[in-house]
Chains A and B, each alone.
Chain A
Amino acid sequence: MADIKGYNMPDDLYYHEEHSWARVDGNKVTVGMNDFFQKEAGDIVFVDLPEEEDDVSQGEVCGKIQSRKWIGKLVAPVSGEIVEVNEDLEDDTSLINTDPYGKGWILVIEAEELDDELGSLMQGDKLAAFIEKEIQRAEEEKAKA
Chain B
Amino acid sequence: MTETWRLFRNTTRPLSTAEGLAVDDTLPQSVALNGSCPVLHLYSFVPSAIVGKYQDIEAALRLDRCEARGIEVNRRSTGGGTVIMGPRVVSLGLGIELDHPGLDGGGVGGLFNTMSRILADALAVFGIRACFQPRNDLEVAGRKIAGLSAASEVGKSLLFHTSLLVDFDVDLMLDIMNTPLVKLSDKGYSCFSQRMTTVESGAGRRVEVGAVVDAVAAAFERGFGIRFREDEPDAWERRTIQEFIDNRYTSRDWIFSHKHPRARMGVSRVKTPGGLLEIYLALAGASIENVVITGDFFSTTEDVNRLEKALKWTSAREDRIAENLSRIWKDDMIYGLDVPTLTRAVLEAKTNQERL
Q: Which residues of A contact B (CB under 8 A)?
A: 40, 42-43, 45-46, 48, 64, 66-73, 90-94, 97, 137-138, 140-145
Q: Is the CB of A66 within 8 A of B107?
A: no
Are B79 and A69 neighbours in the complex by a CB distance under 8 Å? Answer: yes
- Is A45 a contact of B110 with CB atoms below 8 Å? no
Could you say which residues of chain B place their CB within 8 Å of the CB of A69? Answer: 52, 78-80, 135-136, 147-150, 313
Q: How far is the CA of A69 from the CA of B151 in the complex (A)?
A: 8
Contacts A46-B284, A93-B287, A94-B315: A71 and B109 contacting too (C-beta < 8 A)?
Answer: no
Flag if A48 contacts B54 (CB, 8 Å). Answer: yes
Q: Point out the residues of chain A lying under 8 angstroms from B286, CB to CB.
A: 91-94
Query: Can you name 6 A-B residue pairings with CB atoms under 8 Å?
Result: A48-B259, A69-B79, A90-B285, A94-B315, A143-B105, A144-B110
Q: Please, which residues of chain A bring their CB within 8 A of the CB of B108? A: 40, 70, 72
| Count of interface residues, chain B, beta-carbon cutoff 8 Å | 40
Tell me if B150 and A71 are in contact (CB < 8 A). Answer: yes
Please tell me if B330 contacts chain A, counting CB pairs below 8 Å.
Answer: no
Q: Which residues 110-140 of B sit at the A interface, judged by CB distance below 8 A? A: 110, 113, 132, 134-136
Closest Cβ neighbor of B112 among chain A residues: A70
Q: Mark B237-278, 1 if CB is under 8 A from A, else 0.
A: 000000000000000000000011100000000000000000
Q: Is the CB of B320 within 8 A of A43?
A: yes
| Residues of A with C-beta under 8 A to B104 | 140-141, 144-145
Please determine whether B105 and A137 come into contact, CB atoms closer than 8 angstroms. Answer: yes
* Residues from chain A with Cβ under 8 Å of B317 in the complex: 94
Which residues of chain B come closer than 8 Å to A48, judged between CB atoms? 54, 259
Say whether B152 faces chain A, with CB atoms less than 8 Å apart: yes
Count: A-B pairs, CB below 8 Å: 111
The residue from A71, A93, A94 contacting B79, defined by CB atoms under 8 A apart: A71
How far apart sit A70 and B159, CA to CA, in the bound complex (Å)?
A: 10
Q: How far is the CB of B121 from chain A (nearest CB, A)?
A: 15
A46 touches B105 (CB 8 A): no
> What separation, in Å, do the CA atoms of A73 and B152 have in the docked complex?
6
* Extra inter-chain contacts (9) besides given A69-B78, A141-B110, CB under 8 Å: A45-B313, A46-B284, A71-B54, A71-B78, A71-B150, A90-B285, A93-B287, A94-B320, A145-B134
Chain A residues, CB < 8 A from B78? 69, 71
Across the two chains, which residue of chain A brings its CB closest to B53? A71
The residues of A that contact B260 with a CB separation of less than 8 Å are 46
Contacts of A145 in B (CB 8 A): 104, 109, 113, 132, 134
Contacts of A94 in B (CB 8 A): 286, 315, 317, 320
Contacts of B149 in A (CB 8 A): 69-70
Task: Find the residue from A45, A91, A137 having the highest chain B CB count within 10 A.
Answer: A45
Interface residues of B in 182-201 (CB under 8 A from A): none
State A46–B314 Cα separation when bound (angstroms): 10
- Asked if B202 CB lies within 8 Å of chain A CBs, one says no
CA distance A95 to B356 in the complex (A): 25
CB distance from A81 to the nearest CB of B (A): 21
Instruction: Flag whether B223 is at the interface (Cβ < 8 A).
Output: no
B105 touches A144 (CB 8 A): yes
A144-B113, A145-B113 are known contacts. Are A42 and B314 too (CB-CB below 8 A)?
yes
Q: Is the pair A91, B152 in contact by a Cβ cutoff of 8 Å?
A: no
Residues of A within 8 A of B135 (CB): 42, 68-69
Say whether A66 contacts B54, CB under 8 Å: yes
Residue in chain B with minimal CB distance to A143:
B105
Q: Which residue of A lies closest to B261 (CB)?
A: A46
Contact A66 B315 (CB under 8 A): no
B106 within 8 A of A: yes
Q: List residues of chain A with CB within 8 A of the CB of B134.
A: 145
The docked-state distance in angstroms from the alpha carbon of A137 to that of B149 is: 21
Give min CB distance, A22 to chain B, whole Å. Answer: 20
Q: Which residue on chain A has the smallest CB distance to residue B150?
A: A70
A40, A46, A141: the one within 8 Å of B285 (CB): A46
List chain B residues, Cβ under 8 A from A46. 54, 260-261, 284-285, 287
Measured CA separation A86–B147 after assembly (Å): 31
Cβ contacts under 8 Å, B261 to chain A: 45-46, 90, 93
Name the residue among B134, B148, B314 with the largest chain A CB count within 10 angstroms. Answer: B314
A87 to B113 Cα, complex, angstroms: 35
What is the CB-to-nearest-CB distance from B304 to chain A, in angstroms, rounded to a whole number? 20
Instruction: Give the docked Cα–Cα distance between A70 and B152 (Å).
Output: 8
In the complex the two chains form, is A43's CB within 8 Å of B259's CB?
Answer: no
Query: What's the Cα separation between A61 and B183 when bound, in Å?
Result: 40
Beta-carbon nearest neighbor of B103 in chain A? A141
The answer for the CA separation of A46 and B285 in the assembled complex, in Å, is 8
| A66 and B285 in contact, given A73-B152, A94-B315, A141-B104 (Cβ under 8 angstroms) | no
